[in-house]
A = this chain, B = another copy of it.
């Protein structure tokens, strides 16, 4: 039986970190909400159905009779079970640590356009968004990217240091992809300070294991999601 991934339809969101690992790992999965004939309420109904280990929010993966939520937790499982993470304990904890740091930056990227409440419209928090985005661009983007640059220094190819990619390489690729989409001017200014990060982004983009997915048309555009192209929130 294949895995079932549950996430909001129509946006890449946090679900995309899981999709990239499943796709690059050649792991069979279904997304019921994206199949024809599935009710628009299917995700809400499934999430509220009684289960031993309920999720707080999507994405969640139904796998081997378990329901696993929280992006980094799903990837921890996939990494270990499908060889998408180092075999050693130290290597697996390192990859998990990096994934959690990526998750922190993803949350902060989201909060640039929703600094007050995720339930309110962007239009109702534009002034606050402008202030938060400035702090994100000037303080947080350099701090996080300098860290990932440091994490890659001396490894040069992959974050875990081995000969093969691990799931966290795919995640850093997607994070950088989102930053390039949402903050093209700022990234234009700072990207050259992080050559190893940008090289890793380029390396994953041409990873043979991901080409069938990229070519399939199934990879959703960023759109109105975590990473948004609000020009007023970007600056060099």
A157 within 8 A of B: no
A123 neighbours in B (Cβ, 8 Å): none
A139 pairs with B117, CB closer than 8 A? yes
Residue from the list B56, B69, B77, B115 in contact with A116, Cβ < 8 A: B115
Contact A69 B97, beta carbon cutoff 8 Å: yes
Given contacts A128-B128, A132-B115, contact A73 B56 (CB under 8 A): no
A100 at the interface (CB under 8 A from B): yes
In the bound complex, do residue B147 and residue A56 qualify as a contact, i.e. CB atoms below 8 Å apart? yes
A3 smallest CB distance to B (angstroms): 14
Interface membership of A163, Cβ < 8 A: no
- Distance (whole angstroms) from the CB of A95 to the closest CB of chain B: 10
CA–CA, A31 to B193, complex, Å?
Answer: 35
Find out whether the CB atom of B94 lies under 8 angstroms from the CB atom of A119.
no
Q: Does A229 contact B (CB under 8 A)?
A: no
Among A70, A97, A132, A139, the one with the most B-chain Cβ atoms within 10 Å of its Cβ is: A97
B93→A117 contact, CB < 8 A? no
How many Å lie between the Cα of A131 and that of B125 in the bound state?
Answer: 10
- Per-residue contact bits, chain A 201-220, to B (CB 8 Å; 1 contact, 0 not): 00000000000000000000
Contacts known (A128-B116, A132-B115); A90 close to B73, Cβ less than 8 A: no
Tell whether A68 is near chain B: CB-to-CB under 8 Å.
yes
Determine if A151 and B54 form an interchain contact, defined as CB atoms under 8 angstroms apart. yes
Q: Which residues of B contact A107 (CB under 8 A)?
A: 104, 107
For A139, the chain B residues whose CB sits under 8 A away are: 117, 119
* A148, closest chain B residue (CB): B56
Q: Does A66 contact B (CB under 8 A)?
A: yes
**Cβ contacts A66-79/B at 8 Å (1 or 0 each):** 10111011001100
11 further A-B contacts with Cβ under 8 Å, apart from A69-B101, A128-B131, are A53-B97, A66-B90, A72-B72, A72-B100, A73-B93, A73-B100, A77-B93, A104-B107, A115-B115, A117-B131, A117-B132
- 7 A-B pairs with CB atoms under 8 Å apart are A56-B147, A104-B107, A115-B115, A116-B128, A116-B135, A119-B135, A128-B131
